[in-house]
Structure formats: structure tokens, C-alpha cells
Amino acid sequence: VDKNCSKIHRISSNIYCCGAGTAADTEKTTEMLASKIELHALATGRQPRLVMASRFLQDTLFRYRGHISAMLLLGGVDCSGPHIYEVTPHGSVQKLPFSSMGSGNLAAMGVFEDRYSNSTLHLLCLITDSDQ
């Protein structure tokens, strides 16, 4: 099984998605999201909003009731500011100031809890790989 895949997926110029779970599921789910977002942007002439992307993921993953093993962190900046959404395989969505998922989530969460503050002006992003 080849697990050598991208963990960060470009959805649009202002939205990126980090994936954990089954590689094929995260790849295809983010590809579907990127195409849906691009079509919407072309049809409306507007920059896509993160809440729209999170709703699409929520609807898609909820429809399959957890059979798509994709845990996703959706983040970016839109007209209403910076956002991070955590999307679980069952379709539940949480808007959070910071989040971590995957095999390195406990170590990453410790770093976030130690270094995060409300006065932070930029997003702190930490990507871990359990194989290293």
C-alpha cells in the first residue's frame, strides 16, 4: 500500500485542506471539494467562502455515514476573516481557533495549547508525520 501522498490540498487560492485518514478517501474528497468550489467561483464571480466549503464536506461525509475515512482540517481566509474548520468522517463540523488530527494529534495539540493565545495575529500551523 502506497501511503506517500500529499497531506495538504489546495482547494482554492484562499482555502487549503489538511487530511488524515485513508489516503484515497482524503484525496478524492478534497478533489471533489476543489472542483465544486471552482465551479461555484466561476458561476458567481466571487471568492469562495470557507463556510460553503465546510458545508459541502459536511453534507458529503454525513451522506456516507463514516464510510469515507477522511478527517479534514479546512482553513483559510475569506471576506469575513481567517477560519479553521475540523470535519470528521461522520460529517460533524466544528469551527475552532486551532485543531489537530491524525496520528500526531496529541503532540501537536500540546504545542498548540502551549503557544496559542488570543493575541496571536497569524495562524500557527504544525504538521507532523509519525514516520519521522
SS (H, E, C) the chain: CCCCCCCEEEEECCEEEEEEECHHHHHHHHHHHHHHHHHHHHHHCCCCCHHHHHHHHHHHHHHCCCCCCEEEEEEEEECCEEEEEEECCCCCEEECCCCCCCCCHHHHHHHHHHHCCCCCCCCCCCCCCCCC
Q: Is the pLDDT of residue 125 over 80?
A: no
pLDDT for 100 equals 87
Report the pLDDT value the prediction gives residue 112, as an integer from 0 to 100.
80
**Domain locations along the chain:** 8-115
Nearest Cα residue to 57 out of 75, 73, 33:
33
Q: What is the pLDDT of residue 6?
A: 85
Burial of 27 (0-12, 13-18, 19+ CB in 10 A): middle
> What pLDDT is attached to residue 4?
74
- The domain covering 8-115 belongs, at the CATH homologous superfamily level, to Aminohydrolase, N-terminal nucleophile (Ntn) domain (3.60.20.10)
Residue-wise pLDDT tens digits, 69-123: 999 999 999 999 999 999 999 999 999 988 888 888 898 888 888 877 766 544 4
Instruction: Kindly tell me if the per-residue pLDDT of 50 is higher than 50.
Output: yes
130 compared with 64, residue with greater pLDDT: 64
Query: pLDDT tens digits, residue range 5-37?
Result: 788 999 999 999 999 999 999 999 999 999 999
